[in-house]
Amino acid sequence: MASPKAQVLDSVAADLARTDGSQFINPAGMTVKSRILLPEGFKRANYRTEEFGNFLENLPLYPIDREVHYYNGKIKPRNNIYNSVVKLDIGKRDLHQCADAVMRLRADYLYQQKRYKDIKFNFLSDGKPRTFTNYAKGDYAYPTYWKYLEYIFAYANTASLHDELPRVKTTQEVKIGDTFIQKGSPIGHAIIVVDLAKDSTGKTIVLLAQSYMPAQEIQILNNWNNSKLSPWYDIDQDIIKTPEWTFYPKNLKTWE
C-alpha cells in the first residue's frame, strides 16, 4: 500500500494532468464552440451571425494534435500551456505577438462584416488612430488588409491598446471579446475572451486565448488553477493566473 505522502503526490499529479482540459475537449471539433465542451449546468449565449461573439466562438482550429508555430516555423511545445491552436496565418515577421493577436481578431471580425470604417487602432507614439480606409485608399482586398495589420502591429502594442480601450467595471460584467491587458514596463501582455457561458445562477466562465513572444499562433489556454474546470476560467477572482501571465480584475477592457 502506498504511503500517505505517495498518495498525496499521486493526487497532485492527477490534478495537474487534468488541467490540460481534456475532460472538456472534443477532438473532432474544428471550431472553438465545437471543440471545447461545457461543464454541467452551463450554457453558451446565442449570438447573431453579425456579432463578435459568433465570430469568436466559430474561430477555426487546427487538428487537436497541432502544436503552436512561431512566425519562423519553429514549434512552441505544449508544456500544458494550451490545448488548441487557432487556424489563422500569422505571417513571416516577428509582429503577431500578444496585443497584435487581440487587435487582429477584432479587425478580422470587422473585415468579415465589411465594416471597413470601424477598423482602426491607435499608435503608441501619438495615441491617434490609423484607419484601414485611409490606408487602403479604396483597395480592400485581403493582401492590402494584411499589410495594414502588419503596419499596425509595428506601431501599436499593449500600452497603446490599454490606453485605447475602456475598462470594464467588474469581471462580473465580462463579455465575449473583452480582453485582459497589462501595459507593463518594459513589456506587458494581453489575452482575449473567445467564449463565455453562464449557469442558472448567473455564474460566468470564459475561455481565454493568447499569442505571445516571439510572434506565434493564437492558442486556447489551459487553466492550471482549477483542474475540474480547465480550460474554462472563473474570472470572478482577485487574481487571474494564466500559464504565462497573471492578471487582475482592473486589467479587463472592452471594445466601444
- The string of pLDDT tens digits covering residues 67-103 is 999 999 999 999 999 999 999 999 999 999 999 999 9
Residue pair 109/55 in contact by the 8 Å Cβ criterion = yes
pTM: 0.93
* Residue closest to 213 by CA, chosen among 72, 66, 115: 72
The Cα 115–Cα 80 span in angstroms is: 37
Confidence of residue 11 (pLDDT cuts 50, 70, 90): very low
Domains of the chain, by residue range, sit at 5-90+167-253
Q: What is residue 76's DSSP assignment?
A: E
* Burial (CB count <10 Å: 0-12, 13-18, 19+), residue 78: middle
- The string of pLDDT tens digits covering residues 37-67 is 999 999 999 999 999 999 999 999 999 999 9
- The string of pLDDT tens digits covering residues 111-140 is 999 999 999 999 999 999 999 999 999 999
